[in-house]
Chain A
Amino acid sequence: MSTLTTEHVTITFGGVTAVADVSLRAEPGEILAIIGPNGAGKTTLFNIIAGIYRPARGRITLAGEDVTSLAPHLLARRGLSRTFQNLQIFFRMTAAENVMVGRHLHEARGLLPHLFALPAALRQNRATRRKAEELLDFVGLASFADQDAGTMPYGALKRLEIARALAAEPKALLLDEPAAGCNPVETREVDGVIRKVAASGVTVVLVEHDMRLVMRISDRILVLDQGRMLAEGSAAEVRANPEVVKVYLGAHA
């Protein structure tokens, strides 16, 4: 069963069709990239999947369940996590605390044991902290655990957001331009983390402008143009598609 699908998703803004009849499937452990020229509808599609826009037609499923237009915090409960193009880090917390927030759904959240620091509450805090340290290690940020997130370098914050999203143990992870603003070294680091995430069985769907990153890591690529699906396939297939070369890759390659 596919982890994440969209079926005939369509949305219009003031008469302009931004996304038209897009159907995609992403399988467990797969890296699916959505690309296309500016204004192709990539970000709009991303926001529909993430529950920010409600599609006019079509539906989204996650692990077989219809999750169309669910509020973001409910989508998270069903197993969808995401990162942001413009970082949404908790800047007044440490790196470890950022990831600990990601554990929210997996913690007992009763207030009284915590207010009085009962042993069960302290045990849980220690377990959450340990898990956060594991995830920081997973994305290569173990040494930043107790550093205030506000003082961390940009590339590290990109990976911190991924660690935080993974803390929720999602079935599918949406990455909104994971390499935006990164230098080549930082892009390589993000690249490695994304591969490891997919290898752990999580479905990764990403929107990205950096073509080299997309070609390097994607199992499949979906090309959008003016809101429609122009092509879909492996990196090699997409690169060889004359339509794609014409509208998009030509300008970049």
Chain B
Amino acid sequence: MHNVLRHPYAVVLLLVAIVMALPLLVPSTFHLRIAVLIFIFALAVIGLNLLMGFAGQVSLGHAGFFGIGAYAVAVGPTHLGVPSWAALPAGAAIAGLLAFLVGRPILRLRGHYLAVATLGLGILIAMVFTNEARLTGGPDGMPVPRLELFGWRARTPIAWYWISGVTLIIGALIAVNLIESPTGRAFRAIHDSDTAARTLGIDVARYKLVAFVLSAVYAAVAGAYLALFDALVTPATAGFLRSIEFVTMAVIGGLGSILGGVVGAAVLVLLPQVLTAFHDYEHIMLGLLMMLFMIFLPEGIVPSLARLTRRRT
């Protein structure tokens, strides 16, 4: 049984099952909307996990790439006459290109220094969205036209449920394929010992860059989905708090675990919903619970629980 669970593709099958089953279990529109948010954030966190959990490089600026995707589907159709379906991949390409250009110099930095550099990058991108008011609507943000495909408009929560659910499954599948490839093995090797990785012929700088670019593309696609789903985008989409949220989701769910990314996203989307019962103390409870998670499940929810079940058998 545990061998089955440890199989790299088990997480993909599990996601397929969850996405298929949820609409039957939670028929209300409100719940579907929450599921969409979880799927979208999970997609971004799976991408961030490739960088942080597998290649071992931190980024505190990923909301910047998320914001690029979001503003691409807002600005493209509104100002540039680019339809949403084309603006979305264009946004992902721009985010990937920016990551490629910025990644070369900043990925030479390690640990805390890389954290600060990526933090600066994220803040810079958010500032551009705030200041370019003519295009972006400034601090108030701007409306996002609905996604239209062959005359069909994606606006209902159930439509977005299937779009984001299927995309999450595809995103997870690609991530697993990557991890089991020479590139993915190079990521993991760099994480454990970049010294040894080098002596095996791995170009460490190049693979860090590949991880950075891929994670930026994941974030941009997720950002575009959120903007299209909300029909609104503001600079907060690309803001510092959103970056921290992504890192927190990745860490709480479990770095280096694809399923962990999904669980982390679910916990951070669901907890505030559940904790509204505590009214004024909501944020205190949220902070407290996050601390307890890290104390009792220090490797993140999924890896820590996997270890516990393995020990018992």
Interface residues of A (CB under 8 A from B): 50, 71-73, 75-77, 81-82, 84, 88-93, 97, 100-105, 107-109, 111, 114-117, 121, 124-125, 128, 164-165, 167-168
Contacts and interface: CB of A to CB of B under 8 A. Distances in A.
Sorted nearest first, the 8 A-B pairs with minimum C-beta distance are A114-B181, A76-B201, A88-B196, A105-B201, A90-B192, A72-B198, A88-B193, A107-B182
A90 B196 contact: yes
A78 to B, nearest CB: 10
A175 B174 CA distance: 38
Interface of B: 174, 177-178, 180-186, 188-189, 191-193, 195-204, 210, 256
A135 B186 CA distance: 19
Nearest to A91: B192
B182 A102 contact: no
Contacts of A71: 198
A114 B183 contact: yes
Contact of A104 (B177, B178, B192, B201): B201
A121 B181 contact: yes
A102 B200 contact: yes
A73 B185 contact: no
Contacts of B201: 73, 76-77, 104-105, 168
B195 A88 contact: yes
Contact of A111 (B183, B197, B200, B204): B183
Contacts of A102: 200
B202 A84 contact: no
Given A111-B210, A125-B181, A104 B186 contact: yes
Contacts of A114: 177-178, 180-184
Interface centre among A75, A77, A115, A128 (most CB of B within 10 A): A115
13 contacts: A71-B198, A73-B203, A88-B193, A88-B195, A100-B185, A101-B197, A102-B200, A108-B182, A111-B178, A111-B183, A114-B183, A115-B178, A116-B174
A71 B186 CA distance: 17
Given A73-B204, A88-B193, A109 B182 contact: yes
Given A81-B199, A82-B199, A164-B200, 16 more contacts: A73-B200, A73-B201, A73-B202, A73-B204, A76-B200, A89-B193, A90-B192, A92-B188, A93-B185, A102-B200, A104-B200, A105-B200, A111-B210, A117-B177, A121-B177, A125-B180
